């Protein structure tokens, strides 16, 4: 498994051929490390530093009483883990950006019914116009497909939930549909449905794969339950994850699974090298900007609690460290880091231009200057930044008591 974080401190870790997955720790370790208890977090960071491990970035953590209305419960959550990445000072085995293979881009299936909104030289979804802040044009579609490759490489497979032959699968916020298409190809026995605000899925798709335009935050009106509900990289999209979890729960067949994968949008750092950079400023503006749109870039820290509240049982969380460029030691780390650097560089304009001009009143020139500085920092291997990507799965099964409206929810043996 690539990229899972390790409980050992980075300096103690032997070199691995693949980035380490986060050691499975009880999800309760998602307790706030900085936001709610800055003193405790600083103490633990200091003690981590004393045994040679690089402490997580403290400077970049948002304050507990964040004036921007961010959900500070979530802030700094990843820093309670060691990440299994170590700085490569020798620059061994460099990975060229040109050596990274991009997946071929999706062919847009745009219908004339959907007249995309044009702004800043980009196009945006027309259905529920303005709900999602990112563009939907070809450059963004190519970025999404690259991001898909990163996710599959990092996680090792399309889905970690131990599903065998799911009959009906739903992918909400499917984007270019690349996950749904690959899942349908891998599982010819499954019927896979992908939904999105944008009709940007290809025309040529497996016969067991379908796409619909739908807002996943609306009431779900599917005629049949699903065996797997999947969702990935939606923290900049959904305002109401608890509602989405409730919808997923209500639309799962007994024994079905839901799997949600997302970033902590706040960049982490193994030392102080991110502090004061344009990259950090850009990342803070992004978190602040989406918060002002009612989204929480740190939402993933609450997923477990919210899934349990929605009725899910046996929620399993796995954390993965994804380096932001090729700064980390190890070939796999360098490949993933280079891919992620390209992903963010490709996304810089689309992420920033509408958001920063509209939310902060910045001029286009100001945003472009910040993008330029951020682009430079993104390529700087002296900035040891990384993302934490989380996956959550859960299983539930219900046993109806004959003749009664009551039912009980039982575990049916998650195999993790």
Ligand X SMILES: C[S@@+](CC[C@H](N)C(=O)[O-])C[C@H]1O[C@@H](n2cnc3c(N)ncnc32)[C@H](O)[C@@H]1O
Cβ-based nearer residue to ligand X, 217 or 377? 217
Q: What is the DSSP string of 92-132?
A: TT---GGGSPPPPPPPP---TT---EEETTEEE-TTTTTSS
Q: Pattern 196-215, binding to ligand X, x per CB under 6 A?
A: xxx----------------x
Cβ-based nearer residue to ligand X, 40 or 215? 215
Using the contact rule CB under 6 A, the part of the chain among 14-22, 195-203, 268-276, 354-362 near ligand X is 195-203
Cβ-based nearer residue to ligand X, 78 or 135? 135
Cβ-based nearer residue to ligand X, 122 or 148? 148
- Closest Cα partner for 322 from 379, 282, 370, 265? 265
Query: Parallel, antiparallel, or unpaired for β 385-395 and 313-323?
Result: antiparallel
Cβ-based nearer residue to ligand X, 148 or 302? 148
Cβ-based nearer residue to ligand X, 187 or 232? 232
**Nearest approach, Cβ of residue 171 and ligand X (Å):** 7
Q: Which tokens go with 133?
A: 């802040």
**Nearest approach, Cβ of residue 134 and ligand X (Å):** 6
Cβ-based nearer residue to ligand X, 45 or 286? 286
Using the contact rule CB under 6 A, the part of the chain among 183-191, 232-240, 300-308, 372-380 near ligand X is 232-240
What are the residue ranges of helices labelled H in 227-363?
A: 241-250, 278-292, 303-310, 331-360
For 186, phi then psi, to 5°, come to -75, -25
Tokens 């009906």, located at residue: 168
- Closest Cα partner for 197 from 243, 241, 142, 135? 135
Per DSSP, the three-state class of 358 is helix
Residues in contact with ligand X, counted by CB under 6 A, come to a total of 23
**Nearest approach, Cβ of residue 384 and ligand X (Å):** 25
Using the contact rule CB under 6 A, the part of the chain among 45-53, 172-180, 382-390, 402-410 near ligand X is 172-180
Cβ-based nearer residue to ligand X, 16 or 232? 232
Question: Out of 124, 183, 233, 320, which residue is the one contacting ligand X (CB under 6 A)?
Answer: 233
Tokens 């497909």, located at residue: 145
CB crowding 315-331: b at 16 or more within 10 Å, else e? bbbbbbbbbbbbbbbbb
Cβ-based nearer residue to ligand X, 155 or 179? 179
**DSSP state letter for 299:** G
**Nearest approach, Cβ of residue 209 and ligand X (Å):** 14
Per DSSP, the three-state class of 181 is helix
**Nearest approach, Cβ of residue 266 and ligand X (Å):** 16
Contact call for residue 183 and ligand X (CB under 6 A): no
**Nearest approach, Cβ of residue 343 and ligand X (Å):** 11
Contacts of 389 (CB under 8 A, 6+ apart): 3, 151, 154, 261, 262, 263, 264, 319, 320, 321, 322
Distance CA 35, CA 38 (A): 6
Question: Out of 53, 237, 336, 341, which residue is the one contacting ligand X (CB under 6 A)?
Answer: 237
**Nearest approach, Cβ of residue 235 and ligand X (Å):** 9
Site for ligand X in 139-168 (CB under 6 A): 144, 147-148
- Closest Cα partner for 53 from 94, 17, 95, 6? 6
Contacts of 317 (CB under 8 A, 6+ apart): 27, 30, 303, 304, 390, 391, 392
| 184: enclosing H helix or E strand | helix 178-186
**Nearest approach, Cβ of residue 321 and ligand X (Å):** 19
Question: Out of 27, 55, 78, 175, which residue is the one contacting ligand X (CB under 6 A)?
Answer: 175
Q: How far is CA 269 from the centre of its chain?
A: 17
**Nearest approach, Cβ of residue 232 and ligand X (Å):** 4
Q: Provide, for the chain, the percentages of residues in helix, strand and coil under a 3-state DSSP scheme, each rounded to the nearest 5.
A: 35, 20, 45
Cβ-based nearer residue to ligand X, 179 or 327? 179
Question: Out of 18, 232, 295, 329, which residue is the one contacting ligand X (CB under 6 A)?
Answer: 232
Question: Out of 81, 116, 124, 132, which residue is the one contacting ligand X (CB under 6 A)?
Answer: 132
Binding residues for ligand X (CB under 6 A): 125, 131-132, 144, 147-148, 172-175, 178-179, 195-198, 215-217, 232-234, 237
């Amino acid at each position: 498994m690539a990229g899972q974080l390790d409980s050992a401190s980075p300096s103690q870790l032997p070199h691995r051929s693949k980035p380490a997955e986060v050691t499975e720790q009880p999800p309760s370790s998602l307790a706030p490390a900085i936001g709610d208890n800055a003193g405790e977090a600083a103490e633990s960071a200091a003690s981590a530093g004393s045994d040679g491990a690089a402490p997580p970035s403290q400077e970049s953590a948002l304050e507990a009483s964040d004036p921007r209305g961010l959900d500070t419960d979530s802030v700094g959550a990843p820093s309670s883990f060691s990440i299994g990445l170590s700085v490569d000072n020798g620059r061994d085995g460099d990975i060229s950006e040109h050596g990274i293979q991009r997946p071929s881009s999706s062919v847009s299936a745009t219908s004339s019914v959907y007249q995309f909104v044009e702004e800043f030289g980009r196009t945006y979804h027309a259905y529920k116009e303005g709900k999602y802040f990112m563009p939907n044009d070809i450059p963004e579609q190519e970025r999404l497909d690259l991001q898909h490759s990163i996710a599959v490489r990092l996680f090792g497979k399309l889905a970690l939930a131990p599903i065998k032959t799911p009959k009906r699968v739903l992918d909400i916020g499917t984007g270019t549909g690349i996950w749904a298409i690959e899942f349908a190809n891998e599982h010819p026995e499954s019927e896979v449905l992908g939904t999105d605000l944008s009709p940007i899925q290809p025309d040529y798709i497996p016969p067991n794969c379908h796409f619909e335009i739908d807002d996943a935050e609306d009431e779900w009106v599917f005629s049949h339950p699903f065996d797997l509900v999947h969702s990935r990289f939606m923290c900049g999209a959904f305002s109401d994850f608890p509602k989405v979890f409730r919808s997923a729960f209500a639309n799962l067949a007994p024994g079905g699974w839901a799997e949600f994968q997302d970033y902590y949008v706040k960049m982490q750092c193994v030392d102080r090298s991110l502090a004061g950079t344009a990259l950090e400023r850009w990342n803070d503006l992004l978190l602040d900007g989406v918060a002002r749109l009612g989204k929480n870039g740190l939402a993933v820290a609450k997923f477990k609690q919210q899934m349990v509240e929605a009725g899910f049982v046996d929620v399993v969380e796995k954390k993965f460290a994804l380096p932001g460029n090729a700064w980390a030691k190890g070939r796999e780390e360098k490949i993933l880091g280079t891919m992620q650097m390209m992903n963010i560089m490709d996304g810089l304009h689309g992420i920033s231009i509408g958001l920063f001009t509209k939310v902060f009143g910045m001029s286009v020139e100001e945003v472009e200057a910040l993008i330029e500085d951020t682009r430079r920092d993104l390529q700087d291997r002296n900035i040891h930044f990384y993302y934490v990507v989380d996956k959550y799965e859960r299983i539930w099964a219900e046993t109806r008591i004959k003749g009664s409206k009551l039912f009980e929810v039982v575990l049916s043996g998650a195999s993790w």
